[in-house]
Amino acid sequence: MSELRLVEVDGQDQQWMSEADKASNVFKRGSSSGFIPSCAASVMTVDSVDDEMQSLGTIMDYPQSDLSEETLLAIRWEDLIDQTQDLAPTTWRLFRKAAYTSRQDERNTMKNPDASVMTMVAVASFCRSHKNCKLAKLLTVYFNSCGISAKAFDTLNALGLTMSQKWAYDGLQHLAESACLDLLRDIRTFPFLGTHDNLNRTFKAYEQRLANSNHFDSGTTESSYDGNDRVLHEFFSQLGINTPAQKKEFASLETLVWVGDLLTTSRIRGLKKFRCEDLNSFERLDFLEEMFGWFHAQIAAEHSLHSQYYGTRAGGGLVLSFDILERKGLRTLSVQGDFHHHMKEALHHIAEARFRGLWMLLGKVDCLRDLRQKSPDELKKLAEQIVTNYSSTKALLLHAEKPRKKQDDVHSQAIQWNRGLFLCEGAQVVTGGVWLEILSCCSGTKREECYANDADATHRAAEETVTCGRPTPGQTKLTSW
């Protein structure tokens, strides 16, 4: 055992090998010195692992100059595992054997330890050199997007899983600067538009203090004319339009569409009015074309439908439909959270049910599948009847012209409701055709022209919805329902 103690204390390979050679005859006689060949295998394994870990630097190295959105998104977990297995097969087998037993290999058909093994190898590589930080930087950006605290960052960094909190700030700043440069290049190459809105923040009280209160309000002052002016000034400053020559060139050659809600567009119109007598077109904002946002228009339309047709559980209306569909959180109007998503989805399902019912009623069928037996011309006529007689302004006017005794208030409300659904779901159902009426009314067009636009939209809606999943003559593929 003297040879064994010498090996354990000294640890030098050459001296150990000489001692192993001397003890080889002892091993052949079946002595307890059979531990020596195991030590030889351990030394060779350690040397192999050391060489492999050095070679992993070629795939784990991730310098700060290469940090960008594209390089982060280009990191594929499966490719990283394959490369690690090729460059460090012994290390991979060693970690995998430590993390997974043979019995687990036979029993588990779905679970796979490769992710855990890859993490262990990456942490070990990061411990050997701070340059081997590809996985650490990837996890740092991910955890930061999840809102992890600074203390948690420091803990994960001590474990070798992530970079430090200080690097997280520097890395995100680097990514933001790179994104700004990419944006400027895209603006010089492609058409673009501008948009801005108020930033709303929810303030919550975590301690019982008199000054602490829960409220939801605007965190900026962009609703004022001065606030909008500062936003536009900062926008052009980030675009690099600062000198008089740059401003002259931009105002002479470009037309910038600016999208926002009604308040934003109103403030921009006010700024242009206040500056109408300024010296040049850039200061007068002549190049700026304000336009209200369709997203805000959708929300306004949803709130209008909710206010008009909420109804009661006994008499019908949206509240009854919400109960049947088991939709929660839609009884009170809101602009916070996921109200818009749930409201839009509920209106879509309600519209789908109502118009499918009209198809079955006018088509005189018991199932939508039976409509496949009708010709394209017959389906087109049915679609025209649905839109013209049950969901358009023209239908309301024709119904109002009837004698009072022949008017049906329930039928009139149903037409208004269907028409409102068409307006709210216009972008999905009729590809924006019905919105022509809104645009005509907003631009001051006469009511007769609005009705003409509505009739045109009716025909377009009919032509786009008549196919019902069947190809019309000249089509090479199916049209969706």
Number of H helices and E strands in the chain, helices first, is: 26, 5
Task: Give the CB-side neighbour count of residue 102, counting CA atoms within 13 A.
Answer: 0
The per-residue pLDDT for 297 is: 77
Per-residue pLDDT, 44? 85
Tokens of 88: 């460090």
CA gap 233, 354 in Å, rounded: 49
Residue-level pLDDT at 204: 62
Give the whole-angstrom CA distance, residue 262 versus residue 260: 7
Residue 481 burial (CB count, 10 A):
11
- pLDDT score at 2: 36
**What is the model's pLDDT at position 43?**
82
Contact 309, 347 (CB under 8 A): no
The CA-atom distances, in angstroms, between 365 and each of 373, 379, 432, 466 are: 10, 13, 30, 16
Q: Closest Cα partner for 340 from 276, 295, 397, 385?
A: 295
Q: What are phi and psi of 74, to 5 degrees?
A: -80, -10
Residue 309 has a pLDDT of 86
Q: Where are the alpha helices (DSSP H) in 313-402?
A: 318-325, 339-363, 376-390, 393-400
pLDDT, residue 246, reads: 92
Pairing outcome for strands 256-260 and 288-292: parallel
CA 320 to chain centre: 32
CA distances from 325 to 173, 322, 335, 349 (A): 46, 5, 22, 9
Give pLDDT tens digits for 182-198.
888 898 888 888 888 77
Instruction: Take residue 31 and report the two structure tokens written for it.
Output: 């002595």
Averaged pLDDT, groups of 10, the chain, 481 residues long: 38 47 46 59 85 92 89 91 93 90 84 90 92 92 88 89 90 90 88 80 61 56 80 89 91 89 87 91 92 79 86 82 87 82 87 89 90 90 89 88 87 86 57 43 43 41 35 32 26
Handedness of CA 230, 233, 237, 242 (dihedral sign): negative
Q: What global pTM score does this model have? A: 0.53
pLDDT of residue 201: 64
Q: Quote the CA–CA distance of 133 and 442 in Å, as a whole number.
A: 57
Distance from C-alpha of 120 to C-alpha of 126, rounded to nearest angstrom: 10
How far is residue 305 CA from its own chain's centroid? 27
- Write the burial class of residue 206 (CB in 10 Å: 0-12 exposed, 13-18 middle, 19+ buried): exposed
Alpha-carbon gap, residue 4 to 16, rounded angstroms: 9
Cβ atoms 458, 390 nearer than 8 A: no
